[in-house]
Amino acid sequence: MIIIIVSLILLADQLSKFLADKYLALSDTVPLVNGIFHLTLVHNRGAAFGILRNQLPFFIITSFIAIALIIVNLKGQQGKKFSLYNLSLSLMLAGILGNLIDRLLFGHVIDFLDFRLWPVFNIADSSLTIGVMIFGWSILKDRKTIN
């Protein structure tokens, strides 16, 4: 199940970024729902909200470390029932891999989903964010069960 989740998200992420990069000009915006949701091509050289701009080696190294830690945790879950914890790790892994691929190939992350009130992002960012939220919730849920 983990391989399927990661593969599907990676495919959707990389295909959508390829199409965005091919059909959108850098910084141009195409309104799909005017003033609410646009497609805007951005080359993000930082992390979330553009912080730590131009720190490519740092992002590549931390991505590999995070991937290794997630894989170790997933291997520790082998043989156990698929859980929210596994789902969260799968989503985080897919998100990290999606943006790492961009950084390795292009030196930046391709972002294009623009809800106007939030910085432009991509499918990998969404996967990572949702994964972190589920991760936190699953840990809090397990702590309540233990106590």
pTM of the model: 0.90
Among 13, 102, 111, 114, the active-site one is 111
> Annotated catalytic, 102?
no
Is 125 assigned a catalytic role? yes
Out of 13, 102, 114, 125, the active site residue is: 125
pLDDT of residue 42: 95
Contact 118, 49 (CB under 8 A): no
pLDDT tens digit at each of 147 positions of the chain:
899 999 999 999 999 999 999 999 998 899 999 999 999 999 999 877 667 787 899 999 999 999 999 999 999 888 788 889 999 999 999 999 999 999 999 999 999 999 999 999 999 999 999 999 999 998 888 766 554
Give the per-residue pLDDT at 77. Answer: 81
